[in-house]
């Protein structure tokens, strides 16, 4: 079928037998198997009769019993505190302290929600004053995932986009931040700075130096930091290391470390667990004024309790099996297998992209996505203009139509003028990724040939 023809009508026979959906970050849909320890504990919590099953490891039974003791009536069907079960909040705070090399974390500053996105929405409600004549402004990166943009629009905030530098590995440029902030102050009141690290959709990982620059910028400009760190356990680049904003902030001078306000988000949906459907995420608040913190607690308490399954998933993420525990050998083997699969997938992706004309990709370091740049011939640009569509959107529609591979166009995430991208999920089984890459390779080669 020529690309110059219209998309086939419904019901007409396609050239593929199975749809491959790599448009969203769902590892289990991509064939990644759930962690055995996680599912065993959840199963025992939901069906306590399994605690008598000799096939379950001792540490699974102990954890399930411990969690059930925290539930009213010993049942996961009971309500919990609106900010989460106290024991699980304590477990999360200990996880944060270990992650950050001993930096203190208090359970009182942690709020568990039905996903990190819900927590972000509540924090934005705290910051945005929709009744003011001068709108509240929030700086967000370009590209960024679409949900943050929709949340800000719904809350009536002024969106202040700052562009990441693709040519330098999607790095954040301080000059760009000053430029956009100065321009925004003419039309709105900027109060917050949002960053996703590791990046979605870009797969970049901020260096410690870059994080320090952002924190100093926030201190100088009196901006509230919103650090979306949900991909923190998914780091695979050579010599790549994740630094949390809280850890870096704590190690800066006291005039900064004790004053810059920070909200840090994490989730059980991302990383090696990939438990997207359980809806468990949290936010930790740092350096908020006590009066503001009191109001924040009130705001969080207006929500019903987060799903207990999601809370349990967070507990298991924060405190997994340790060496010597019966479940540790299987757990460590499964986690390493998932990490190896993602590392192999990203390596294979870059191999294939290097072979294809009109496509380039920055080195991948972390996260669940790859965001390659598509360099369309002028004929392809005119083809899209004639149909009043963005070129990468039309590319993705025909990719789906012709091969059954579903990926997202870059225009949905924001991008520089006259640049085009696609976003591809990397957290799948290797055979699924290979199938996807072969479909993309065949389609892209024919696409570039027809329009060159």
pLDDT at 10: 46
Taking 50 as the pLDDT cut, the residues of the chain under it are: 1, 10
How much is the pLDDT for 2?
A: 56
Fold exhibited by the domain 79-318? 3.40.640
User: Which residues pair with residue 189 across a beta bridge?
Assistant: 136
Q: How many CA atoms lie within 13 A of 371 on its CB side?
A: 30
**For 2-25+331-451, CATH number?**
3.90.1150.10
Please give the pLDDT value at position 237.
Answer: 84
97 CB-near residues (< 8 Å, 6+ apart): 103, 104, 105
Residues carrying CATH 3.40.640.10, the chain: 79-318
Write out pLDDT tens, residues 393-445.
Answer: 999 999 999 999 999 999 999 999 999 999 999 999 999 999 999 999 999 99
In which residue ranges of the chain is CATH 3.90.1150.10 found?
A: 2-25+331-451
Predicted local confidence at residue 13, as pLDDT = 56
Q: Quick one: three-class SS letters along the chain?
A: CCCCCCCCCCCCCCCCCCCEECCCCCCCCCCCCCCHHHHHHHHHHHCHHHHHCCCCCHHHHHHHHHHHHCCHHHCCCCCCCCCCCHHHHHHHHHHHHHHCCCCCCCHHHEEEECCHHHHHHHHHHHHCCCCCCCCEEEEEEECCCHHHHHHHHHHCCEEEEEECEHHHCCECCHHHHHHHHHHHCCCCEEEEEEEECCCCCCCCCCCHHHHHHHHHHHHHHCCEEEEECCCCCCECCCCCCCCCHHHHHHCCCHHHHCCCCEEEEEECCCCCCCCHHHCCEEEEEECCCHHHHHHHHHHHHCCCCCCHHHHHHHHHHHCCCCCCCCCHHHHHHHHHHHHHHHHHHHHHHHHHHHHCCCEECCCCCECCEECCEECCCHHHHHHHHHCCCCHHHHHHHHHHHHHCEECEEHHHCCCCCCCCEEEEECCCCHHHHHHHHHHHHHHHHHHHHHHC
Which residues, in sequence order, are CB contacts of 191 under 8 Å at separation 6+? 127, 128, 136, 137, 138, 223, 224
Q: What is the DSSP letter of 197?
A: S
Q: pLDDT tens for residues 134-180?
A: 899 999 999 998 889 999 999 899 999 999 999 999 999 999 999 99
* Residue 428: strand, helix, or coil: coil
The alpha-helical segments, DSSP class H, found in 70-131 are 86-99, 116-127
């Amino acid at each position: 079928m020529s690309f110059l023809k219209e998309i086939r009508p419904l019901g007409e026979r396609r050239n593929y037998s199975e749809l491959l959906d790599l448009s969203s970050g769902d590892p289990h849909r991509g064939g990644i198997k759930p962690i055995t320890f996680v599912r065993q504990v959840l199963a025992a919590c939901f069906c306590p009769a399994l605690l008598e099953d000799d096939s379950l490891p001792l540490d699974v039974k102990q954890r399930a019993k411990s969690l059930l003791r925290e539930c009213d009536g010993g049942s996961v069907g009971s309500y919990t505190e609106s900010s989460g079960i106290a024991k699980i909040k304590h477990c999360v705070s200990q996880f944060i302290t270990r992650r950050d090399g001993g930096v203190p974390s208090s359970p009182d500053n942690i709020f568990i929600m039905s996903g990190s996105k819900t927590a972000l929405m509540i924090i934005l409600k705290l910051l945005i004053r929709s009744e003011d004549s001068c709108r509240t402004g929030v700086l967000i990166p370009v590209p960024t995932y679409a949900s943050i943009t929709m949340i800000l629009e719904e809350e009536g905030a002024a969106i202040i986009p700052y562009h990441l530098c693709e040519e330098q590995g999607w790095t954040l440029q301080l000059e760009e931040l000053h430029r956009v902030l100065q321009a925004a102050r003419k039309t709105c009141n900027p109060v917050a700075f949002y960053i996703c690290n590791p990046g979605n959709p870009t797969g970049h990982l901020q260096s410690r130096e870059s994080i320090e620059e952002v924190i100093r910028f926030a201190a100088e400009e009196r901006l509230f930091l919103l650090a979306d760190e949900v991909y923190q356990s998914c780091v695979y680049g050579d010599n790549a290391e994740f630094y949390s904003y809280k850890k870096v902030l704590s190690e800066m001078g006291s005039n900064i470390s004790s004053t810059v306000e920070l909200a840090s988000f994490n989730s059980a949906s991302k990383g090696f667990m990939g438990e997207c459907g359980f809806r468990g995420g949290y936010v930790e608040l740092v350096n908020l004024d006590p009066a503001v913190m009191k109001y924040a607690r009130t705001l969080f308490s207006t929500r019903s309790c987060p799903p207990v399954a999601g809370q349990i998933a967070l507990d298991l993420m924060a405190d997994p099996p340790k060496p010597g525990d019966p479940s540790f050998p299987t757990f460590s083997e499964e986690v390493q297998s998932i990490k190896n699969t993602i590392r192999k997938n990203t390596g294979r992706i870059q191999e294939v992209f290097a072979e294809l004309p009109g496509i380039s990709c920055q080195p991948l370091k972390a996260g669940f996505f790859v965001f390659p740049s598509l360099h369309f011939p002028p004929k392809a640009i005119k083809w899209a203009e004639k149909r009043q569509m963005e070129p990468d959107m039309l590319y993705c529609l025909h990719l789906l139509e012709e091969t059954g591979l579903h990926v997202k166009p870059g225009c949905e995430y924001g991008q520089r003028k006259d640049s085009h991208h696609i976003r591809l999920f990397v957290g799948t089984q290797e055979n699924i990724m290979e199938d996807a890459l072969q479909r993309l390779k065949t389609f892209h080669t024919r696409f570039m040939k027809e329009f060159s």
